[in-house]
Amino acid sequence: MTTDQNLHYWQSFAETVSIEGRAFIDGRYQDAESGEVFDCISPIDGRVLCQVASSGESEANRAVAAARASYVSGVWADKSPAERKEILFRFADLIEANQEELALLETLDMGKPISDSLGVDVNGTLRALRWTAEAIDKVYDELATTSHDQLGMVTRNPVGVVAAIVPWNFPMLMAMWKLAPALAMGNSVVLKPSEKSPLTAIKLARLAQQAGIPDGVLNILPGFGHSVGAALAKHDDVNTLVFTGSTGVAKRLMIMAGETNMKRVWAEAGGKSANIVFADAPDLDEAVEAAASAICFNQGEVCTAGSRLLVQDNIADEFIEKLQTAFQAWKPGNPLNPATTIGAMVDDIQMKQVLGYVEKGSAEGATLRCGGEQLDIEPNGYYVQPAIFENVTNDMAIAREEIFGPVLSVIRFKDEEEALAIANDSIYGLAAGLWTSDLSRAHRVARKLEAGSVWVNQYDGGDMTAPFGGFKQSGNGRDKSLHALDKYTELKATWMKI
């Protein structure tokens, strides 16, 4: 099919797709008790996709009660790991069978290109679920070394009820990074998607039920504002709270949890990642393309976005010239067109925030090399041309604060010591990249970078086998890999006298 035919296909699909907007509690969709709803607005063109139930404290209480009852009953927790694995694989198969509908909902709801929704979000969701499901009957408990008349066992118990609050930028994928390990280890879950992009989470609830996940084990609570998240953070029957989002919200959730039942709080929070290009980078053209992708992909709405580009002085002029050319391939367009590389910002609030930082960068003395303007792609849509700032210093707001949009700050450095000082001079420590042909430098710099993920001669590497999370105010705990399972289990030591 041609691009135009593909665009027509997705536009036609968008006109006919059935969209569910109600909460899912104890195995059924239901309205908020208050009857309150909010409009789910597509950033593509500003049209109202549906009305979504605005869950509140009442819904949080009912969802937690359903999760607690299902956990205590053992209907899910007492299944063998092999049984849970089989059901989770059926869940993955249903996601795959409905992948086009899920991808469309993601694009309509959040504004990302349909090609990314299919190729990145759906595929990543499937990989996270299948990888975790495959792992659960291969995680063994332990026997301690004891004297002849003692038996020491170290076992993992499910934590119980998990509340998960996930962001709007990768709604389905971030949800699955929490759901897969939480469910795999036998917990019951209450998931709160962002009000900016709740649709795929609501759809996943029905698919999970069809796969055989018992009622009450997975509950979905869309809600407007912070009332649902606060209710879950304060709830005494929630044992663990997992969160991905801003550092400011993470801190508030930790305070709420500490003031109530001291539930475990695991947070993947903000980032302001440094991408360091040394003069001896093995392939400057490849580094240029990666630097462009690192800030433009997903409209820059990525926690690990390479928003600080550190370039060594003696190659900086050449690199910036090449970078400006590379940015020409990242032009916002209709997200339903598979040829589009950048879609719409998630809403007008986010668009205005990005445009505000563009103004702030110029006011602080940085030089706007290209981009930074609002574009009229579709009527009432939210589109911003990716921007490059040069002559940036690390004390400027555009270099220190998380913009969450396609705004790149280029900072020059003289040597390795200065590059490390600039990169680590941040409250965040989520990710970093470095480009060099010097093997010793690669090891040396990677070791000294204060970041949870470091990518060498690439940006955004890794897969489900690698843990993901941050240092400093980028959070605690890890998603992905076997390390993620630690967040959803309690270790128990049992000693028997023989």
Cα 361–Cα 364–Cα 368 angle in degrees, nearest 5 = 40
Residues in the chain: 498
CA 72 from centre of chain: 30
DSSP 8-state symbol, 166: -
Taking the C-alpha atoms of residue 240 and residue 127, their distance in angstroms, rounded to an integer, is: 24
Local structure of 144: helix, strand or coil: coil
CB-based contact 418:308 (threshold 8 Å): no
164 strand-pairing partners? 191, 242
Task: Show the beta-strand stretches assigned E in 68-149.
Answer: 142-143
**Closest by Cα among 273, 274, 271, 275 to 245:** 271
Q: Active site residue: 20, 268, 301, 378, which one?
A: 268
CA nearest 169: which of 197, 190, 195? 197
Concerning whether 36 is annotated as a catalytic residue, the answer is: no
Which helix (H) or strand (E) covers residue 196, if one does?
Answer: none
Number of Cβ within a 10 Å radius of residue 45: 18
Q: What are the tokens at 71? A: 């956990």
427 CB-side CA count, 13 A: 13
**DSSP-H helix ranges across 263-346:** 284-296, 313-327
Angle at CA of residue 19, ends 15 and 25, nearest 5°: 180
CA nearest to 255, candidates 232, 227, 228, 233? 233
Which of 303, 370, 378, 416 is labelled catalytic? 303
Tokens 């939480």 locate to 182
Assess whether 40 carries a catalytic annotation: no
Q: Are 177 and 479 in contact (CB under 8 A)?
A: yes
> CA 350, CA 110: separation in Å to the nearest integer?
11
Determine whether 425 is exposed, middle or buried from the number of CB atoms within 10 Å of its CB (0-12, 13-18, 19+): middle
Residue 161's DSSP bridge partners are 188
The residue type of 113 is P
Tokens at 142, concatenated:
């332990």
Give catalytic residues, as residue numbers: 268, 303
